[in-house]
């Protein structure tokens, strides 16, 4: 095994642990924090050593299965039923489920991530307001292909579960 692969694996394991134990929600944040655990000067040079999200997801799924195998099926079913209700509500915006609820790697901290398409965020806000659903919005810059684009995230809570 190459040294790069060993470092990638160690970072993937640490990132998965951070997501599971510390509640870090985004792969990007987890891998950055994990890389810094190897030392600040090394973290700057670890770009080529950073694992792909799929590698972290694989480690996270292993961690969840080993620690929560009896709780996982019920938790996953509950989150998917809740997700289905919001997918139906948001149907005018062609929603689709992403993240841990889709992949099955859920923890007690998992949220429901739904992507949708609207010409204007106000359309989604109007639908939620019309249904009497409280929500918050946040503009989040996301880098894709070297280009930073601002996306609006809408957060709401349903019976203790965050939906984004």
Residue 156 · residue 131 · CB < 8 Å: no
What pLDDT, in 10s, does the model give residues 76-122?
999 999 999 999 999 999 999 999 899 888 888 889 999 999 999 99
Domain CATH for 92: 3.30.460
Q: Encode 121-154: b = buried (16+ Cβ within 10 Å), e = exposed.
A: eeebbebbeeeebeeeeeeeeeeeeeeeeeeeeb
Q: Answer yes or no: do 100 and 59 share one domain.
A: no
The three-class DSSP label of residue 127 is helix
Q: Answer yes or no: do 33 and 82 share one domain.
A: no
Phi-psi region of 123 (alpha: psi -120 to 50; beta: other; left: phi over 0): alpha
Q: What is the pTM of this model?
A: 0.73
What pLDDT, in 10s, does the model give residues 59-79?
988 988 888 777 778 889 999
Q: Answer yes or no: do 12 and 90 share one domain.
A: no
User: What's the total number of domains in the chain?
Assistant: 2
The three-class DSSP label of residue 141 is strand
Q: Answer yes or no: do 81 and 152 share one domain.
A: yes
Domain boundary among 14, 43, 68: 68
pLDDT at 44: 52
- Token look-up 């998917």 returns 80
Question: How many Cβ atoms are within 10 Å of 29's Cβ, its own excluded?
Answer: 13
Q: Answer yes or no: do 91 and 151 share one domain.
A: yes
Q: Answer yes or no: do 53 and 91 share one domain.
A: no
95 Cβ neighbours under 8 A, 6+ residues apart: 86, 87, 114, 115, 116
pLDDT for 124 beyond 60: yes
pLDDT at 50: 83
């Amino acid at each position: 095994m190459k040294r790069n692969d060993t470092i990638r694996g160690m970072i993937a394991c640490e990132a998965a642990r951070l997501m599971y134990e510390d509640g870090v929600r985004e792969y990007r944040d987890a891998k950055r924090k994990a890389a810094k655990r190897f030392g600040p000067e090394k973290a700057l040079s670890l770009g080529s050593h950073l694992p792909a999200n799929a590698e972290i997801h694989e480690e996270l799924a292993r961690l969840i299965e080993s620690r929560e195998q009896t709780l996982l099926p019920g938790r996953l079913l509950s989150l998917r039923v809740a997700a289905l209700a919001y997918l139906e509500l948001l149907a005018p915006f062609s929603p689709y489920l992403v993240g841990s609820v889709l992949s099955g790697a859920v923890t007690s901290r998992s949220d429901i991530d739904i992507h949708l398409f609207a010409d204007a965020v106000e359309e989604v806000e109007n639908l939620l307001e019309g249904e009497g659903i409280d929500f918050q919005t946040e503009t989040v810059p996301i880098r894709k292909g070297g280009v930073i684009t601002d996306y609006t995230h809408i957060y709401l809570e349903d019976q203790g579960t965050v939906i984004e």
